[in-house]
Amino acid sequence: MPHAPEPDEDDLDAIAPPQPVFHVEQALLGALLLEPHRLSDVTGIAADSFSTAAHAALFAAISTLPPPDPTEHAENTKWLDQVLASGRGQARGLTASYLHTLVQVCPWPRHTPAYARMVEAEHARRCLQRAAERLVQTIHDASLPHPVQTVLAEADALAAVVDDIASRFPPRAGVLPRTPAPPPAIAPDQTEAVEEEQLLLATATAHPADIDSVRWLLPDDLTLPLHAGLWQCLTTLARRGEPVDPVTVLWEAQQRGVLDDGSNPGEVLRLLAEPAGSVEHWGERALQRSLLATADHTGRRIEAYAGDPANTPFQLVVGARRSLADIGAVRTRWQHATGMVPPERRRPAPGARAGPPTTTAAHTAGTARATR
């Protein structure tokens, strides 16, 4: 029974095997050790495509050393000794017995292209998972001076990974990921968001003519259902050209059922009567929070898809692109809010395999302006 190699262990046969791709990697390496000429059948992978340092070191050695003469290779282990010596430079725990194990566990060397394709698919999944993890980590990095700009750059990097996977694996029908979406993240302290949204509502009530300047702000951008409902009331009254003040907004809220959650009418009136700053400023702050929240949900959803080995590469592409579209929608509104005109995105050079169109939600983030 095959076992997992660890580069820093003397006995590589003593550790239980991990995921199925480990056995695929063993079969691929065994085929190349047994019949080195089959390396010409291997495409789409490199040393970093493998899941362990030992396997990566062996593939790097096999790929860089001149192939042996087939007749000579069948008669002695000279080339295998060279592979072992080269591999030990990167993974000192490699042993001759492990190379022998790899040769033994390879069922059919002629299946080398299929094994390589499986390794490529698993590597694509790991790359997507790492890119999604980086996006989520960036969103929660409180030290960033320009969070939106940095987060959108990570979203672009994630989209580029998706495009690369799409170019490598042809589309298939019925490929939605079967992995359930993760539950909503535990929201941090929303005190600041609530206060700023209250100022937005009060300031818009005091200056309804300014509401038209923030048409890019949607009710769903606000964190509380009450605030979202009140913003919808404000925009509706302003659009209809009706009088806007705390009393008319309160009445509109009653007509729309916004107060059905038990909100105290007197507290709503007080909330709407304390303006400060500008509508545009508070609207931009709310939209920034909405963009970061959307990116967080997108990153965690793609991370969940990529963390499920049952999903095929193209399932990952479909799921990731649908998720990235959510960021794209908020991003467009952010561009309108900040007056940013994005440059035309360059299309990547066509790959060896045809794939679906590139992700349209990704834009060049170098020109993004985080705050005004």
Instruction: Write the pLDDT tens digit of every residue in 207-222.
Output: 999 999 999 999 999 9
pLDDT tens, residue by residue, 102-159: 999 999 999 999 999 999 999 999 999 999 999 999 999 999 999 999 999 999 999 9
With cut-offs at 50, 70 and 90, classify the pLDDT of residue 258.
Answer: very high
Choice between 171 and 13, residue whose per-residue pLDDT is larger: 171
With cut-offs at 50, 70 and 90, classify the pLDDT of residue 367.
Answer: very low
How much is the pLDDT for 178?
80
Over residues 32-40, mean pLDDT? 95
With cut-offs at 50, 70 and 90, classify the pLDDT of residue 94.
Answer: very high
How much is the pLDDT for 365?
38
Over residues 270-275, mean pLDDT? 95
Q: Range with the lowest mean pLDDT among 55-59, 81-85, 306-310, 350-354?
A: 350-354
Choice between 23 and 356, residue whose per-residue pLDDT is larger: 23
pLDDT tens, residue by residue, 60-79: 999 999 999 888 898 889 99
How much is the pLDDT for 170?
82
Over residues 209-236, mean pLDDT? 96
How much is the pLDDT for 182?
82
pLDDT tens, residue by residue, 80-90: 999 999 999 88
How much is the pLDDT for 188?
63
How much is the pLDDT for 167?
93
Q: Range with the lowest mean pLDDT among 8-12, 148-152, 284-288, 329-333?
A: 8-12
How much is the pLDDT for 342?
55
Three-state SS string over the chain comes to CCCCCCCCCCCCCCCCCCCHHHHHHHHHHHHHHHCHHHHHHCCCCCHHHCCCHHHHHHHHHHHHCCCCCHHHHHHCCHHHHHHHHHHHCCCCCCCHHHHHHHHHHCCCHHHHHHHHHHHHHHHHHHHHHHHHHHHHHHHCCCCCCCHHHHHHHHHHHHHHHHHHHHHHCCCCCCCCCCCCCCCCCCCCCCHHHHHHHHHHHHHHHHCHHHHHHHCCCCHHHCCCHHHHHHHHHHHHHHHHCCCCCHHHHHHHHHHCCHHHHCCCHHHHHHHCCCCCCCHHHHHHHHHHHHHHHHHHHHHHHHHHHHCCCCCCHHHHHHHHHHHHHHHHHHHHHHHHHHCCCCCCCCCCCCCCCCCCCCCCCCCCCCCCCCCC
For residue 372, pLDDT over 50 is answered with no
Over residues 83-98, mean pLDDT? 92
pTM given for the model = 0.80
Over residues 248-260, mean pLDDT? 95
pLDDT tens, residue by residue, 127-138: 999 999 999 999
With cut-offs at 50, 70 and 90, classify the pLDDT of residue 341.
Answer: low
Percent over 70 (pLDDT), the chain: 84
